[in-house]
Structure 1
Amino acid sequence: MDLQLKGKTAVVTGATRGIGRAIADLFAEEGANVAICARNADQVAETVAALKAKGVNAWGDVVDIADGPALKAFVTKAGETLGGIDILVSNASALVQGAREADWKAMFDIDLMGAVNAFEAAKPFLEMAAETRGDACMVITSSVSAAEATSASAYGAMKAAQIHYAKGLAKEGAAKHIRCNVVSPGTVFFEGGVWGNVKAGMPAFFDQMIKRNPTGRMATPEEVAAATVFLASPRSAFTTGINMLVDGAISARVNF
C-alpha cells in the first residue's frame, strides 16, 4: 500500500532510539522528509545521517522537551528548514512511574506540555499543509497505562491526559482537515529501553510480564511505528480523535 507520504514532512520528538527512532526511520522509508530532536547531540547527528542515507531530507537538533520555548523554537525551525510540516509526532516521554512531586512535574512538563507546546508551534504549518494538500496530522504516543491502574502514578495519569487533549484537538481541527490521533503501546522491548533494562536487571519480573501478554512476547518499536505512520498518513484521512492500542491484547478493557 502506498501511504502517500512521499515528499511530505514529519517532525518527531524523542526520535533517536526506541519507538521514536523507528517512527522516524519508517517515515523516511516511505519518502517523507523528517525533523527529529532528542537530548544527546551525538545520537541526533547519527540519526539525521541515517535518515539522509535513506534518500530524504532530514534535520535535527538537541532539545530539552521540558523547556517550552526551546521546544517551540525547534518545531518552528524544523518547519522553516524543511519547508513546512505535514505531520507532528509527539513521542518524547519522561518515563517515570512514581507519584512524588518531581515525578508529576516531569510527566506534566515533558509528556503533556511537550505535546501542547509542540502542537502550538506546529499549528501554523499544519494549517497551511491542510489547506494546500487536504490533510495534516498530529499523533501522540501515549500508553496502555492510561487506562490501567494498580496504584497512584504520574505516568498513567499524564498519559490519560494526552488522550483527552488529542480528542479535543481532533474536534477543533476537523473542519480544517487537521487530524489528531493517539497510539498507545503496551510493553515494548528493545535493548537499552525500559524493558530491556528490566530483562537485564530483573529477569524473573521480565518473564512474569512476558507471560501476562496473550501473544507471549512484547512489541517491537517497529510495530508501534507502523501504527503511528499509518495513522499519520493520508490513507487515514477520515480517522481522527482515536486512541489505537498496540498492546498484543494485554489489556482487558473493551474499546468502544
Structure 2
Amino acid sequence: MDLGLTNKIVLVTGGTRGIGRAIVEGFLAEGATVAFCARDGVAAHELAEELSVDGRVAVGSKVDVGDAEALALWVDATAEALGGIDVVVANVSALAIPENPDNWRTSFDVDLMGTVGLATAALPYLATSDAGAIVTISSVSGREIDFTVGPYGTMKAAIIHYTQGLAYQLASKGIRANTVSPGNTYFEGGVWQSIEANNPQLFAESLALNPTGRMARPDEIANAVVFLASSAASFVTGTNLVVDGALTRGVQL
C-alpha cells in the first residue's frame, strides 16, 4: 500500500530515542523528509547524520518543548527551511509519574502544553498543505487508572480530549488530528528497562497483565503513527488508536 508520504515534510518532537526514534525512522522509510527535536542537541544532530542516507533527509535540532517560545521558533524555522509542514507528531513526555507539585507542573508544561504548542505553531503551515495531519502520543494510562495515576495519567487523558477537539475544529480545513495510545513499550534506555532493573516486582506484575506475554516494540507504535498521518487514513480523524496488545480491557465509548 502506498501511504502517500513521499516528499511530505514531517516534524516529530522527542525523536532521538524509543518510540520517537522509531517514528522518525518510519516516516523516513516512507520517503518523507523528517525534522525532529530533542533536549540533547548533540544526540539529535548525530542521529540526523546517521539517518540521512540513501537519499533520505533527516534534520535534528535541540529544543525543549516545555519552552513555548523555543518550540514555536523551531516550527517556524523548520517550515521556512524545508518549504512547509504536512505532518506534526507530538511525542515528548516528561514521564513525571510520582505525584508532587513539581511533577504536576512539569507534566502540564511538557506533556500537555508541548502538544498544544506544537499544534498551534504548525497550524498555519498545515492549513496550506493538501495532507495536513496532527498525531499526538498519549498512553493507555490516559484511559485507565494504573500506577501512573496523577500527573502523567491526567495529562495523557487531556491530550486525547484536546486532540479530538482539534479534529472537530479543523475538519473543515482539511486537517486531521488523531491520537495513538501505546501500551507498555520496552526499549533499551527506556522507562521499562529501568523498572525491570530497579523494581522487578512492578515489572513482573505489569508484564503479567498483557495477554500477549510481552510489551510492545517502538516500531509497532510507530507503524500506527505513520498510518494515521498518511493518505491511507484520509477519512480517519478524531480517533484514539490504542496499541497495547489487549492490555486494557475497557470499551472505548
* TM-score for both structures, normalised by structure 2: 0.97
Alpha-carbon distance in structure 2 between the residues aligned to 1:169 and 1:183: 15
8 Å Cα contact 1:13-1:36 kept in structure 2: yes
The aligned counterpart of 2:168 is 171
Kindly provide the amino acid, as one letter, of the partner of residue 180 in structure 1: A
Does the Cα contact within 8 Å between 2:41 and 2:63 map onto a contact in 1? no
**Distance in 1 (alpha carbons) for counterparts of 2:190 and 2:114:** 20
After superposition, what is the alpha-carbon deviation per residue over 1:208-233, rounded to whole angstroms, capped at 9, x for unaligned?
A: 22111010000000000000000000
> In the TM superposition, what whole-angstrom CA distance separates every residue of 1:149-204 from its partner, at most 9, and x where no partner exists?
14741101100000111011101110111000000001000011000111122233
2:136 counterpart letter in structure 1: I
Matched residue, 1:98: 98
Q: Which runs of no fewer than 5 residues in structure 1 stay unpaired?
A: none
Partner of 2:122: 122
Whole-angstrom distance in 1 between the partners of 2:4 and 2:186: 29
Does residue 162 in structure 1 map to residue 163 in structure 2?
no
Select which of 135, 142, 146 maps to 1:146.
142
> How many percent identity over aligned positions?
48
Q: 1:217 to 1:168 in 2, by over 3 A?
A: same
1:42 aligns with 2:42: yes
CA RMSD in angstroms, aligned pairs only: 1.1
Structure 1 counterpart of 2:209: 212
Distance 1:54 1:61 in 2: 21
**Which residue of 2 is the match for residue 137 of structure 1?**
133
Matching of residues 193-208 of structure 1 within 5 Å: 193-208=190-205
Q: Greater CA deviation, 139-148 or 54-63?
A: 54-63
2: CA distance, partners of 1:91 / 1:49: 21
CA distance in 2, matches of 1:101, 1:172: 32
Q: Given that residues 29 and 54 in structure 1 are in contact (C-alpha distance below 8 angstroms), is that contact kept between their aligned partners in structure 2?
A: no
Q: Measure, in 2, the Cα distance between the counterparts of 1:116 and 1:150.
A: 25
Return closer, same or farther for 1:98/1:202 CA change in 2, 3 Å cut-off: closer
2:227 paired with 1:230: yes
Amino acid at match of 1:66: G
Residues in 2 aligned to 1:196 and 1:202: alpha-carbon distance in whole angstroms: 10
Shift of residue 98 of structure 1?
A: 2.0
SS state at 2:241 partner: strand
Task: Report 1:3-42 matches (<5 A).
Answer: 3-42=3-42
Deviations 1:115-173 (A, max 9, x none): 111111111110010xxx2x210000000001111474110110000011101110111
| Candidates 242, 246, 252, aligned match of 2:243 | 246
